[in-house]
Amino acid sequence: MDTSKTTVVLLVEDDPADQKLAKNALVNHEMDYALYAAENGEEALEYLQRSKCGDTESPRPNLILLDLNMPRMGGKEFLRHIKADDDLCSIPVVVLTVSDAKTDIQESYKLRAAGYVQKSASPQEFQKVMDKLAKYWFETSSVVRS
């Protein structure tokens, strides 16, 4: 893995408490990464449009963490949009949600999610889960780097 390049993660999450949990969990990780956040699918799409235009304030993410239940545009709709985009479809999207409903899991994978992780209410548990997630995506797997 090329550690001289920062890994950019886009977190799409409307709940401020969950945003904070995710941010804290990633901050504790020793990898070199940068975290950007959007509060719903629409904002995330706008962010990605800006990144396509080379906006330095909106660098293209190497990984997207996606909540499902959000106002304005939910996770599944966002996933549908991004996977239909010939350029953006190469960004892996991991669903990060409270739901463990079989339909949500099935639909997310059908929409080409690259993982489905259930959020834990306990910060310690959440930390452990984010550690394993980060180890997989930042250390084990390569990702597309422009």
Partner 1 sequence: MEDLERSSNMDDLIPVVILLVEDDPADQKLIKKSMLDQKISNKLIIMNTGEDALEYLDRSKSAEPGYPVPDLILLDLDMPGMGGKEFLCRLKTDDALDTIPVVILTSSASEQDILETFKLQAAGYIKKPPTLDGFCEVFSRLEEYWFVICKRVPQRQLSCAAIR
Contact residues for partner 1, defined by CB under 8 A: 83, 86, 89-92, 100, 102, 105-106, 109-110, 112, 114-118, 129, 132-133, 135-136, 139-145
Separation of alpha carbons 117 and 97, rounded Å? 7
Give whichever of 35 and 117 is closer to partner 1, judged by the CB atom: 117
Shortest Å, Cβ 57 to partner 1: 24
Shortest Å, Cβ 11 to partner 1: 17
Give whichever of 42 and 81 is closer to partner 1, judged by the CB atom: 81
Give whichever of 80 and 112 is closer to partner 1, judged by the CB atom: 112
Separation of alpha carbons 104 and 41, rounded Å? 16
Kindly give the residue spans of alpha helices, DSSP state H, lying in the chain: 16-27, 41-52, 75-84, 102-110, 123-134
Shortest Å, Cβ 110 to partner 1: 6
Neighbours of 88 (CB within 10 A): 19
Give whichever of 72 and 112 is closer to partner 1, judged by the CB atom: 112
CB 21 within 8 Å of CB 13: no
